[in-house]
Amino acid sequence: TEIYGATLVRISGNYDQVNRLCSEVAQKYSWGIVNVNLRSYYSEGSKTFGYEVAEQLDWRLPQNLVVPMAGGSLITKIQKAFHELKTLGWVEPAATKFFGAQATGCSPITTAAKKGTTEITPQKPNTIAKSLAIGNPADGFYAVKTILGSGGAGEDVSDEEIIAGIRLLAESEGIFTETAGGVTVSVARKLIAQGRLSPDESIVLAITGNGLKTVAALNGRFGGGQVIRPKLADFEEHFLKLAAARA
């Protein structure tokens, strides 16, 4: 932030409290607001995610889409993008089921979806998925409507499952995602295990951020590697131990 010449002010509070303060400041002083969750430009701009999905699928819509949720805007705007493409006749009018993904430590939208209600009960966030830690989502009502109206579902996963999802995507696809992507991957695995997602159908997972954003979440969760001397004998000894342990 400061590299661009901005004045940085740190707030002692959570995501929801900072959003609220920004709204109050912008309203009182007639300032513009750049927070992505509170700008109509972001909401409309995020439709391009849906356009790109259709384009990369050769102008077809996926049968299933799993999307991480914070404020709940993205999942609704992808649905809007698909609707616009169908209206323009660019894609066949196929139905897509939308599945919302959250961390268990901050899951107000998926909790409501599981209950079959659009009434959102705010939660106090407690999860490593900081980019999804919005306990009182502004678009929660619309996100639940999108999920249930499409025949989809909401699901959430623990912090340990989030890390497992990050690792699975890195090992299998060579993609290092942030914690939000780990949420998406692990929720998809859970939905498949529940029989709600079929491996025989097309499934798109929304991986919305690079892993370098949330490296702190991985601290202490991996060994870090053993230090050896720069000698061939030391390497061979260490390699044999690793091979024996994995045998």
Each residue's pLDDT, cut to its tens digit, for the chain (247 residues) gives: 889 998 999 999 887 888 889 889 989 999 888 776 667 788 889 999 999 999 999 999 999 999 999 999 999 999 999 999 999 999 998 999 999 999 999 999 999 999 999 999 999 999 999 999 999 998 999 999 999 999 999 999 999 999 999 999 999 999 999 999 999 999 999 999 999 999 999 999 999 999 999 998 988 888 778 899 999 999 999 999 999 988 8
pLDDT of residue 53: 98
Question: How do residues 66-118 score in pLDDT, each as one tens digit?
Answer: 999 999 999 999 999 999 999 999 999 899 999 999 999 999 999 999 999 99
Q: Does domain 40-218 have CATH number 3.40.640.10?
A: no
pLDDT of residue 15: 79
pLDDT of residue 170: 97
Cα dihedral sign for 183, 184, 190, 196?
A: positive
pLDDT of residue 16: 80
pLDDT of residue 181: 98
Question: 41-80 burial, b for 16+ CB within 10 Å, e for fewer?
Answer: ebbeebbebbeebbeeeeeebbbbbbbbbbbbbbbbbbbb
Contact present, 232 and 143 (Cβ < 8 Å): no
Q: Which residues pair with 100 in a beta bridge?
A: 67, 154
Where are the domain boundaries for CATH 3.40.50.1100 in the chain? Answer: 40-218
pLDDT of residue 220: 82
Contact present, 70 and 210 (Cβ < 8 Å): no
